[in-house]
Structures are given as C-alpha cells and as structure tokens.
Amino acid sequence: MIELWGRKNSNNVMTVIWTMSELDLKYQRYNVGGSFGGLDTEEFLEMNPNGRIPVIKHQGKPLYEATTIVRYLAGIFGQENLLPQDSYERAVADQWMDWFKSTFYPAFHPTFWGLIRTPEDQRNHQLIEESASRTADLLSIVERRLQTTPYLAGDTFSIGDIPLGTCIYRYLNLEISRPSFPAIESWYQKLENRPAYQKHVMIPFGRNNAEWLELEATLSSDD
Ligand SMILES: N[C@@H](CCC(=O)N[C@@H](CS)C(=O)NCC(=O)O)C(=O)O
C-alpha cells in the first residue's frame, strides 16, 4: 500500500492523487500541510527535509517532488496508459512536466496566491497583473502546441498532461480576464471527461482566502 502525505487541495498533491487514481492504485492519505500543519515534525522532516507536500512512501521508502513521484509511479504502474512507449514521445511528456515546473508554475503562482490565498487588503495588485499577463503569454505556447496534437505529448493522454492539467482548472476558474485559447479549452474538456480529474482536480477553491479556508476545513482525509 502506498502512503501519501498531503492535503488534497494542494495542486502538487492533486497531481499525485490524480496520477494514482488514473493508475487505479490503492493508497492511504494523511491530511497534512496548510491549516492541518504537521510539516515541521521530526518524523515528517525525515521524509522531506524541505517540509513540503506531497510525500509518498512506497515499499517503506520516502519520495518527494510531485513530478518525480508521478514519473516514479507511472514508471512502475503506468506502462500501458500514462507513459508513452516511444522514447521521443516519453521525452516530450517529460519536457512538458519540466516546463510546467520550471516555467509555468513560477509565473502562475502569484496570480493564484494573490487572489485566493492572500487576504484582500494585503494583495499586491501589480504583481497579480504581471503574473496573469506572463501566464497568458506562456499559455499561448501551450495553445500553439495543442493546435497540432490532442494532448501535450502526442495523440494520447500521458503524464505530460498531468501537472499543467491540475493548474488549468484553477486558471480557467479564476475571476480574471483571459485571452481566448480554443485549443486549450478543447484539451481541458477532454480532461474534464476523465473521472479521476473530476474527482480529484475539479475541487472548488473559493473566491478568496476566507472561502479557501472554509473549504479547507471541510476536507476529510477520505478519498
Ligand atoms: N517542488 C515541490 C513543491 C512542494 C510545495 O511547495 N508544496 C506546497 C503545497 S502545493 C506546500 O507544501 N505548502 C506548505 C503547506 O501546504 O503547508 C513539489 O513539486 O512537490
């Protein structure tokens, strides 16, 4: 049985839960992080000295970094569905995961954090605007890619779609102005049809920090 540490409203945790659900894996999840705390205990820091979620333990061995966990689980359990068999296509899936982490997420994070995780009177509006504008620029790269292939790595859904897929739900459901991205919308509709995405990613996050915290308080440790 795989163990997973992390509150399920964290996008990095969702990335792992969505993957495990696509792979039909059984797991035990512990609610830690955010208002649940628990990231600064000796026991947790021994698994992840960064004090961050998600962390998994598989066969008693800990692993952290969401995309690393996704690659690991897909490598063991996802040969036929999540992991492209063609070496080039597999590398393209990896490329989009790395791009998400190194380029997209740092650009998008201030938008989400500013609007949803920061009380209104403490918001840095200029930072939010710059982040939203940079995010839209980066999504135009994704838009061009998805005009040529149905999924990021090619013809089929793969691990390459998962990290950006978690954030795209949030991006498209934030109260911000967005350029039109028809190819991204059509990719998102395909994700929306996946039961694992509906259950684990399409989770309401509220319209502000107060609503976020209210929703977080209702999160159970059941999946
Ligand atoms: N690079 C790490 C980032 C992990 C991370 O920053 N996780 C956030 C949640 S998305 C966290 O632990 N925040 C502290 C908290 O939840 O209390 C990864 O990709 O897994």
Would you state the structure tokens that stand for residue 20, as one six-digit string? Answer: 């495990």
32-54: per-residue pLDDT in tens? 999 999 999 999 999 999 999 99
Query: Residue 60 CA to chain centroid, in angstroms?
Result: 24
115-139: per-residue pLDDT in tens? 999 999 999 999 999 999 999 999 9
**Which residues are near ligand 1 (CB < 6 Å)?**
10-12, 33-34, 39, 52-54, 65-66
Q: Which of 19, 22, 18, 17 shows the shortest CA–CA distance to 5?
A: 17
Cα of 34 to ligand 1 centre, how many Å?
Answer: 10
- What whole-number distance in Å separates Cα of residue 187 and Cα of residue 203? 18
Atom of ligand 1 nearest to the CA of 101: 19
- CA torsion angle 213 39 24 22 (round to 10): 60
pLDDT for 221 equals: 65
pLDDT for 81 equals: 85
Instruction: State the chain's mean pLDDT as an integer.
Output: 96
Q: Whose CA is nearest to atom 2 of ligand 1?
A: 65
**Portion of the chain with pLDDT greater than 90, in percent:** 95
Of 40, 41, 52, 103, best ligand 1 pocket probe by most atoms within 8 Å of the beta carbon: 52
- What whole-number distance in Å separates Cα of residue 73 and Cα of residue 92? 18
What Å distances lie between residue 116 and 31, 133, 162, 181, 184, CA to CA? 20, 17, 22, 23, 23
Domains of the chain (ranges plus CATH)?
A: 2-77 (3.40.30.10), 87-210 (1.20.1050.10)
DSSP 18-58: HHHHHTT--EEEE--SGGG--SSSHHHHHH-TT--S-EEEE
Atom of ligand 1 nearest to the CA of 54: 20
Mean pLDDT on 65-83:
93
- What whole-number distance in Å separates Cα of residue 10 and Cα of residue 33? 9
Q: Would you say residue 223 has pLDDT above 80?
A: no
Among 89-93, 97-101, 208-212, 218-222, the range scoring the smallest mean pLDDT is 218-222
Of 53, 108, 212, best ligand 1 pocket probe by most atoms within 8 Å of the beta carbon: 53
